[in-house]
Amino acid sequence: MIQFEPIGTVVSDFTDPEELHVACEKGRKFEARSRIFVKEHMTSGLEGLTEFSHLWVIYHLHKAKDTEMRAYPGPTSIKGLPEVGIFASRSQYRPNHLALRLVRLVSIYDNVIEVEGLDAIDGTPVLDIKPFVKGFDSPDNPRVAGWYGWLDGD
């Protein structure tokens, strides 16, 4: 069995996963701010993080109850999208209820990281944080399924 110790917890104005459908509709344009309270004994792990503009946040969707192997890859307001396998979507109904989100770093003070764009509800356990590094995280000529064109306004 795999077990994780969360490194911190999200403090957000959102309390219900249903409220975050707006994050799906806006994609990277979702600008809500939230804070991640990192456990005190892990605060030294934040050293150097202020040198980055963006972070990857890996977190557990602790309120997700369902698991699906097929999903609709967008909000219901976007019509005509195909049903796809769960691994071809960003759906919350994944087998392990893990989420990954690229966020903008606003500030760090003590053990608190303020971010913009995190689609997590209040109390969400954070499993890891990694800096966005262009040389690792920006592939040359990426191919994205056509059904995600709505995120760029296509």
Contact at 8 Å (CB) between 98 and 24? no
Distance from C-alpha of 131 to C-alpha of 54, rounded to nearest angstrom: 6
pLDDT at 36: 98
User: What residues does each domain of the chain span?
Assistant: 8-66+95-152
pLDDT at 21: 59
pTM of the model: 0.88
Distance from C-alpha of 35 to C-alpha of 8, rounded to nearest angstrom: 10
pLDDT at 154: 42
pLDDT at 30: 56
pLDDT at 108: 98
Contact at 8 Å (CB) between 70 and 119? no
In the predicted model, residues of the chain with pLDDT beneath 70 are 17-31, 152-154
Task: Kindly calculate the radius of gyration of the chain based on its CA atoms and give it in whole angstroms.
Answer: 16
pLDDT at 24: 57
In terms of CATH architecture, what is 8-66+95-152? Beta Barrel (2.40)
Closest CA to 24 of 109, 68, 69, 81: 81
Closest CA to 124 of 93, 86, 90, 97: 97
Contact at 8 Å (CB) between 115 and 104? yes
